[in-house]
Chains A and B, each alone.
Chain A
């Protein structure tokens, strides 16, 4: 069926670099102590720009990408689950968290060697598990100090009847202040437990990196609106992770610039992710990491996943333009805002963090449904396949309602149940059958 392969494809040039960077990231963390540096652990959304004020030799380990890496290693994951369950933890808890704890309890790092304990933990809380994850990690690791910043300060957006769209809620000042106050206290705490003097200049630079890298990621995603799509979602997973690893690091900014340029080039030359693109879908929520082959399976029918609310907005920062377009968020630097003091940086950080589209799902599922529809249209999709992920209670908040809303809007939607990090809750054959039925209903199998 060669005639179906109408688009040229080629591998990503920066693929190799991505692999190296990722390896280096974990290596840096493992080896931080050898060079007298500091290492800390935290969740992916945690505001890592703040600890960067402690110096350039500060490295960290984000829990979710680590948990996902464990999930890839099914045998290791199975051992993690066993040891966690033996301690009496429930099986339905966040799979990343269980993979992480399991790794701690086994005292085995998935990349080899014993689990490298952090000096402290620095967390941003919104789903029920974030703070507790590290509270328990601290307990089982023998009392590692941790600091949690509450992110659940309410919705950043509000519905505007006239525009029939979401606009930024002007009632934001005290929410920003809430985060700023916590970060201020956090900085004192950081100084206290590390005995280091805090450097505001480093904070300011890191904050700028954070704004830039996360807006850049959104830009990269935006380039995937092209037909054929230059990047499939499975590849996207390998790239978006950098923002989840250390979004406030200069390295990530540089890498994302390179990737953005490559995407532009691919679009210009009409390079496709898959040669036989016939239909474009978007997905939802974390994929089952141990079974990414389902993406390849879809592609065998000419179905490419262009991304998802998840890959776009977990780490990417966006805004809604006057005309309703979902687009990369304008950074404070682009707006010409000068960041001079610690207070300046913290305020902007708080404002940026509160505005993350993904964070809005904690206050109203209608926001996500609305944005999903925007993505569906702007990225020229034909259908949506949702993963009802039993491994994450946080991002599944509202999924059932999202699905209802999308179906209401006449969008073809299918969903399957699974688990991002616990293969016992995933059945490949059943899921493939569901995907096939969906592709059939899109009229792609005759």
Chain B
């Protein structure tokens, strides 16, 4: 029954490094590796400055995914994992990053990373990832003050969006823009559960709804859930959105409409926030360790 299908859910995977930096001159090289349930990222900092990164899908084994993503980030740089002074693992598989010196939760790392990416006016971080939603309150340094995670029903997460993309044959990157191409907001779908959502979407298509309208109904339902979580914690400005769904304008725009203000914008990749934060923590931890060693000598 299974026919070869195009994989619409596949979001863009990439690696990058800054050719202008020569890491061999560096004093401190640190890395953050974020092994999420859906995606893995690695960020390499050279003296605190971003030098290389990679973003790819998480595979079956956490240790393997961690190694893979780190190596991919280092591709073409001549640097090896062993050259990195300190590595912090974060995300779902944080304790399974074999070459990490320490594991820190993605909650702490995302807050830290958000402040790095968006600037220190950030007070609320919304992390919309593959399988969960987190709302984090932080101070100007990115230190977590309070946070909430969605419990119970995982309806309306990144995974859900992927399933939708596949079902409707819309590449994941276009889900957001296309969902905004409606004249009038349709009512939200009642069931955001991935499994039921499928038949619900089909039902709507059968009723003659255009794809855009179905997407809009889904994005709206998901926005409502995100909004509820934000409300529960209480939103303090500025708001930064991290994680993969930050790239979904269908949700970001709707959320902004509902909140009545805009979230911070960035040129950088918000999906890197966790790994970036982890790499920054790695730097501090390495410096501390070094200072302690020196004292000991």
Contacts and interface: CB of A to CB of B under 8 A. Distances in A.
Query: Is A–B contact present in the complex under a CB 8 A cutoff?
Result: yes
B231 interface: yes
Nearest to A86: B231
Interface string A75-86: 000000010011
A85 B228 contact: yes
Contact of A424 (B190, B228, B231, B232): B190
Nearest to A90: B152
Interface residues of B, number: 5
Nearest to B224: A82
A444 to B, nearest CB: 29
Contacts of B231: 82, 85-86
A82 B228 contact: yes
A429 to B, nearest CB: 10
Nearest to B153: A91
Contacts of A85: 228, 231-232
A86 B228 contact: yes
B126 to A, nearest CB: 15
A88 interface: yes
Contacts, number: 12
A84 to B, nearest CB: 10
A82 B224 CA distance: 9
A350 B67 CA distance: 74
A429 B50 CA distance: 55
Contacts of B232: 85-88
Contacts of B224: 82
A169 to B, nearest CB: 42
**Chain A contact residues: over half helix, strand or loop, or mixed?**
helix
A86 B235 CA distance: 11
B207 to A, nearest CB: 13
A31 to B, nearest CB: 34
A87 B148 CA distance: 13
Contacts of B228: 82, 85-86
Interface residues of A, number: 6
B185 to A, nearest CB: 14
Nearest to A81: B228
Contacts of B190: 424
Nearest to A423: B190
Interface in A51-97: 82, 85-88
Contacts of A88: 232
A29 B41 CA distance: 61
Listed residue (A82, A85, A86, A88) with the most chain B CB atoms within 10 angstroms of its CB? A86
A82 B228 CA distance: 7
A196 B202 CA distance: 64
A86 B230 CA distance: 8
Nearest to A75: B187
A82 B221 CA distance: 12
B187 to A, nearest CB: 10
B195 to A, nearest CB: 14
Interface string B224-246: 10001001100000000000000
A74 to B, nearest CB: 11
A86 B228 CA distance: 6
A148 B17 CA distance: 68
A85 B228 CA distance: 7
Interface string A4-36: 000000000000000000000000000000000
A427 to B, nearest CB: 8
Interface in B224-279: 224, 228, 231-232
A288 to B, nearest CB: 14
Interface in A396-434: 424
A353 B179 CA distance: 57
A243 to B, nearest CB: 34
A6 B190 CA distance: 41
Nearest to B203: A429
A89 to B, nearest CB: 10
Nearest to B230: A86
A196 B231 CA distance: 43
Contacts of A87: 232
B117 to A, nearest CB: 27
Interface in B171-226: 190, 224
Nearest to A85: B228
Nearest to B234: A86
Contacts of A424: 190
B205 to A, nearest CB: 17
B199 to A, nearest CB: 11
Contacts of A86: 228, 231-232
A87 to B, nearest CB: 8
Nearest to B152: A91
A75 B232 CA distance: 21
A87 B224 CA distance: 15
A204 B228 CA distance: 49
12 contacts: A82-B224, A82-B228, A82-B231, A85-B228, A85-B231, A85-B232, A86-B228, A86-B231, A86-B232, A87-B232, A88-B232, A424-B190
Sorted from nearest, which 9 A-B pairs have the closest CB atoms? Answer: A86-B231, A86-B232, A85-B228, A88-B232, A86-B228, A424-B190, A82-B228, A85-B232, A87-B232
Given A82-B224, A85-B232, 10 more contacts: A82-B228, A82-B231, A85-B228, A85-B231, A86-B228, A86-B231, A86-B232, A87-B232, A88-B232, A424-B190
Interface of B: 190, 224, 228, 231-232
